Structure 1
């Protein structure tokens, strides 16, 4: 007797949803590690500067340009690659590279060696967000993408705050001699031990990444030619291109403030590394986590009620919050007030990042999503990370005078970046507002 073959079907819905959220959680952890490895340098600026005999501007190159140069240049090729190959494997390779490079930062003997290691960190991390964002979009329906990307973005939020908190805790343990028993490593300077300690978890995490299944790319007709990509970027009043650009401009304020906040709290307000870590972690992780989840969920709610085109309007509120945070920072009189200002800034900035992320992904087809995200990250790298940390000491040293020049420079860089972002995004926002006032409310 011949039995009919069973039709091959997709996995049950519950199983697909569990797999999708597993991928989001693991990718969120990878993003957390990437931000920790990228930003922990901000906690040990003075020890590095003293041992390697560097200036503040040279330190800013290690914080920003050394990472941003390759992060930006490699981002677009990795984005194109992520639109064509297995995204999970691409992310895994990037994780291995940046983790090993972070360890090499702790072994650097001079500025050139440190700079080369930071370039390698940027190379590895350039693969993560374009591939992960594209993968997550293909795992979720349009009305759940904002929430999913918001949860993914928690990795950046907790990584940014956690880099300083975890770094402060580790430095406390190192100073107490907890790692002296380790051969070779135990004899290194505390800041060197710190880089090695934060680089190791990425290597341990690789097996978790390899358990993620590569999802099917929906509505994809293959890798899109560059000419078509460019046409998509400038279509619809250049919305996608404008969002990419404002991400970079606002990132000038992000990186200028974040890169120098730990140094400000230590130099000006005499806080310890652990106190700095706790304050920065509370400010960034608390407000940033709320902004990631609320921003994504609120944008989904707006999309259900008024359509996906309405999401972009929320960016105006985000920029208003970053201006408010920078103004509070300018007038801050204590470390806790400066941290509060940073929290206000982070709420607006991270909310803008999540919402802008979804806006871009919904404006382009599947076959250029990773490329689009890579373009925005290249802009963030070249403009934001490349300029932000360096602009602050330049403004403080050449424009301002007085004992509070570092704090004032951080605030002024943030205010200008926010206002420029508002001006650049206004045309597509205005178009969306006009459409909302003339069209009937959409049913959810």
Structure 2
């Protein structure tokens, strides 16, 4: 059975499509650079402002998540109504400027305020971008196109952690914010001036009632789709773990394996980022190929990956300290070898889940559906992931000392099993939804007439 898609047929794929995808991918990379750079700067920020791990969890998690969530759906709805391009461009400029302002913060409260500004800006980026990618490419190429776009978190880790750690250690954490944030302002302007918006067939817009449907009707249609809600739950659980490890991995390597800030940034950013990037591209290609045979593979692939991820994550966090080898003067812990495998499998839920949502809804609801998905991941993922691990670390610190963070992270890995369970529950509902929305073959329609 072929994959069911929204009724809108994307326009013909040209070099303009590829250029737009390239620019969207670059913007998403900087989205994650600006989001993740704070994780490599945790230790010097704690030292300067005298704050706890729980407060760091608030700074990098809860505050960011609340404001991202508040603005996510309105920006998604705005993008569905006026177009994706202006929302994406202005959002990129806004969050990049706020990242730069983080570098001039003179207190924890001021830094928190600027991070909230980053969150508001980034709320207008992801959902409209996913919707735009889905309109640029036909369904049979969509997972591959989304995999190019969704390299953002992986490459963002490479540059945000690797480059951010080097800048912070060489010039200070404030300079890291300034240098990391500046390019996004220029990239947002280039995107606004040079990228063509995809043209969606008029029948798809008018027949769907894009201009007339109010937000309550849209939300009701989204929430009454069980497959969608279970995919949202799965993505949220995976995001709790993802944001927890993204925030705390550098500190884990510093505390439990004796690395410096720069060394931890290089290992987590470059090694983990490259492994995740390769995995994301492979996932997109394999998903498109398998879904062409059976659309259920859209969810089966992330189920398998989540189950494999758990033992790799536990091995990484629980393996005792010890150096496997050196790359020049850089010590590589033995546990890091498990980390590379962990990074490779842990990302395989992302592309299929975003792709599944693009097949469930028509264009006039797609950015809003994606916004709900991203909002849930951010509110609970960004909001709870860092602060849960930080709180567990503080709780266990009296008895375990610096090793408390190790066990807090190991416990959170088990969330991938719950992610797999949600996707398994979504699978039959997803199949039924696709069957219900797949138009009948032309000869069948004639026979019934």
Scaled by the length of structure 1, what TM-score is found?
A: 0.86
Please list every run of 5 or more consecutive structure 2 residues that lacks an aligned counterpart in the other structure: 1-10, 322-331, 434-449
SS of 2:257's equivalent? coil
Counterparts in 2 of 1:360-379, with a 5 A limit?
360-379=357-376
Name which structure has the greater RCO, CA cutoff 8 Å, separation 6+.
2
Contact conserved, 1:264 with 1:406, CA < 8 A, in 2?
Answer: yes
Counterparts in 2 of 1:402-441, with a 5 A limit?
402-403=400-401, 404-415=403-414, 417-430=415-428
User: In structure 1, which of residues 280, 294, 300 is the aligned counterpart of residue 282 of structure 2?
Assistant: 294
Contact conserved, 2:244 with 2:389, CA < 8 A, in 1?
Answer: yes
Q: Judge which range, 251-260 or 276-285, deviates more.
A: 276-285
How far apart in 2 are the matches of 1:82 and 1:262? 36
Q: CA deviation at 1:46?
A: 1.6
**Distance verdict in 2 for CA 1:27–1:235, change over 3 Å:** same
Please list every run of 5 or more consecutive structure 1 residues that lacks an aligned counterpart in the other structure: 1-11, 175-189, 436-444
Matched with 1:284 is: 272
Cα root mean square deviation, aligned: 2.2
User: In structure 1, which of residues 239, 245, 253 is the aligned counterpart of residue 233 of structure 2?
Assistant: 245
**Is 2:188 the counterpart of 1:206?**
yes
Aligned residues: 405
Q: CA deviation at 1:428?
A: 2.3
How far apart in 1 are the matches of 2:296 and 2:217? 22
Matched with 2:336 is: 339
Matched with 2:90 is: 93
**Distance verdict in 2 for CA 1:69–1:342, change over 3 Å:** farther
Counterparts in 2 of 1:19-418, with a 5 A limit?
19-174=16-171, 190-210=172-192, 211-218=194-201, 219-220=204-205, 221=208, 222-223=210-211, 224-235=213-224, 238-306=226-294, 308-334=295-321, 336-398=333-395, 401-403=399-401, 404-415=403-414, 417-418=415-416
How far apart in 2 are the matches of 1:338 and 1:427? 33
How far apart in 2 are the matches of 1:339 and 1:79? 38
Q: Judge which range, 358-367 or 161-170, deviates more.
A: 161-170
How far apart in 2 are the matches of 1:227 and 1:106? 40
**Distance verdict in 2 for CA 1:265–1:354, change over 3 Å:** same
Q: CA deviation at 1:205?
A: 1.4
Scaled by the length of structure 2, what TM-score is found?
A: 0.85
Q: Judge which range, 65-74 or 419-428, deviates more.
A: 419-428
Q: CA deviation at 1:161?
A: 2.8
